[in-house]
Structure 1
Amino acid sequence: MRRKGLATKIFIDGGDPDETRAIKESLGFLDGQTTNPSFVSKNPEAQKKMDRGETFSEPELLEFYKGIVQDISGLIPDGSVSIEVYADENTTAEEMLEQGREMFSWIPNAHIKLPTSHEGIRAAEQAVKEGMRINMTLCFSLPQAAAVYSATRGATRGQVFISPFVGRLDDRGEDGMSFIANLLKLYRKGDGHVMVLAASLRHEGHLMESLHLGADIITAKLETLDEWARKGAPLPGEAYSYDAGDLKPLPYEELDLDADWKSFDLSHELTTQGMEKFTKDWNKLLGK
């Protein structure tokens, strides 16, 4: 059962339906799941195939991914399941949309993950016009977030998620949780149509601070969620404070959410690196 007072939606991050079942049993509920090519590559069945020295053809891999998300969707029919398109630095918005339309048809509760890059946001602009639900992933800067907001104006609440990656900012000495705080502050000026999904949460401190800040959604791996569940899924109280240690807080930027999305600087090395990592893991399954 959902704990009284818990407003944030809880998602699991992974590509194994058995983990979905496990956390539903541990927590007593689950609001959604986020998947990506790296998690697909770690799925136990994919690992067994790779251990045998076998690879997938592209149609086989897409069918495998489809089967995973269909299993997950059946476990959380009232929740959301994010499915990620293949997008490297050369993938066009049109190519992302073509993939996204197909993936969106796989299950009734899909959100299609697009990168927070120029082509990804261009795809997002069209996707929401077509009624697609989307999750803008690999977000690391406020200009990127402002562009997502601007490009998807007119979308209904729940149609658009944005996924800032906390852990990857921490990895380079920046306080990822300060970015969540800044993003929530920026979006308070808007109409609320983009929901903030705090992603890449590495530990319970990230989870608790996300709840404290009021993130719309959080997603974390099974281990982090299970640890929280075993403690009774506590909520941060009045005395709660987050210790960022030596991590450098990120400055807040005042941005115009009504500006043309193409006017924002969308470049960020972590977005590029993230796209490279996801495509590398996908291509490995294809034997490339």
Structure 2
Amino acid sequence: MKFFLDTAKIEEIRRAKELGVLDGVTTNPSHVAATGKTFRQVVDEILTELQEEPVSLEVVATDKEGIVKEARELARLAPNVVVKVPTIVEGVKAMKVLSQEGVKINATLCFSSLQALLVAKAGATYVSPFVGRLDAIGHEGMGIVEEIRQIYDNYDFSTEILVAAVRHPQHVLEAALIGADVITLRLETLEQLFQHPLTDVGLERFLKDWQKVPQ
């Protein structure tokens, strides 16, 4: 399973790269706004730092023509750009056009397995089910991921399942067990995956014992 970082902050991307497990980055308008920088400043920083790994940049238009226009402009920025398009009627229409042109698409704001089926048929490169937001309204977010995995396997769709809105390490574990292709998560959640109290206790014990070894 690939690990993407969900952020627009360059310092977080660099920290994640140092961990040795970063496969890509996803951004959204909220993340960009949190940086206090212009969109182009943010994009230039990220694409300079990541020149091969997929970087998802989101359109803000909500009509087919506007989405297609924005997506083409974003795709021209670098060959590793993936364009995030909302899973709405106009978005799916645009996905079909863009996928036929070779533009890589991340179908974002997906909340049902039927939506995931539609974007796969439209040629999306990734589908992003937002599991944390589903959990927050009383639905089982990972249940949607299981359904999508089954549907995609049934029909051999090439669209990759990119689990989004991850809230904690358990989401990461469940996504991996289901067989999701990608998970995108905040830096703090990624760092939590490395932690276990028994690892800390074991290391402390080994180091204490090492002090007893004649040097």
Give the aligned residue type for 1:69: V
Per-residue CA distance 1:25-44 (angstroms, 9 max, x = gap): 1x21311000000101111x
Identity of aligned residues (%): 40
Pick the aligned partner of 1:35 from 27, 32, 36: 27
Give the whole-Å Cα distance in 2 for the aligned partners of 1:215 and 1:78: 22
Aligned to 1:255: none
Does the 8 A contact of 2:99 with 2:122 survive in 1?
no
**CA distance in 2 between partners of 1:199 and 1:82 (Å):** 12
Cα contact 1:121–1:151 (8 A) shared by 2: yes
1:70–1:107 CA contact under 8 A, matched in 2: no
Distance 2:194 2:4 in 1: 13
**Map of 1:210 onto structure 2:** 175
What 5-or-longer segments of structure 2 have no aligned partner? 197-215
How far apart are the structure 2 equivalents of 1:212 and 1:76? 28
SS in 1 for 2:109: strand
Aligned with residue 141 of structure 2, among 159, 164, 176: 176
Contact 2:133 2:165 (C-alpha < 8 Å) held by counterparts = yes
Give the conservation status (yes or no) of the 8 Å contact 1:69–1:107.
no
**TM superposition score normalised by structure 2:** 0.87
Q: Can you list the C-alpha shifts for 1:129-184, whole angstroms capped at 9, x where unaligned?
A: 111011000001122111112222xxxxxx61000000000000111011111111
Query: Equivalent of 2:96, from 125, 138, 146?
Result: 125
Letter paired with 1:201: V
SS at match of 2:165: strand
Find the counterpart in structure 2 of residue 109 from structure 1: 80
User: Higher Cα Rg: structure 1 or 2?
Assistant: 2
Q: Within the alignment, does 1:142 sit opposite 2:142 as a pair?
A: no
**Structure 1: stretches of 5+ with no match in the other structure:** 1-7, 47-63, 153-158, 232-288
Q: Which has the higher contact order (CA 8 A, sep 6+)?
A: 1
Paired with 1:66 and 1:197, the residues of 2 have a C-alpha distance of: 25
AA matched with 1:17? I
Instruction: Tell me the amino acid that sits aligned with residue 150 of structure 1.
Output: K
Q: Helix, strand or coil: the match of 1:95?
A: helix
Give the C-alpha shift of residue 76 in structure 1.
2.5
Which runs of structure 2 are paired with 1:181-260 in the superposition (5 Å)? 181-231=146-196
The one-letter amino acid paired with 2:68 is L
* Corresponding residue for residue 16 of structure 2: 23
CA contact (8 A) 1:11 1:33 kept: yes
- Is 2:120–2:157's contact at 8 Å kept on the other side of the alignment? no
> Which residue matches 2:50?
76
> Which structure features the higher share of helix residues?
2
How far apart are 1:75 and its partner, in Å? 2.3
Cα contact 1:124–1:151 (8 A) shared by 2 = yes
CA contact (8 A) 2:113 2:145 kept: no
Match of residue 208 from structure 2: none
What amino acid is the match of 1:179? I
Deviation, structure 1 residue 71 = 1.8
User: Which of 53, 57, 65 in structure 2 is aligned with 1:94?
Assistant: 65
SS of residue matched to 1:229? coil
The separation in 2 between residues aligned to 1:76 and 1:210, in whole angstroms, is: 25
Answer whether contact 2:87 2:110 (CA < 8 A) is retained. Answer: yes
Contact 2:126 2:159 in 1 (8 A): yes
Poorly superposed stretches of 4+, deviation over 4 Å: none
Q: Which residue identity lines up with residue 149 of structure 1 in the other structure?
A: A
Superposed CA RMSD in Å reads: 1.7
TM-score normalised by structure 1 residue count: 0.66
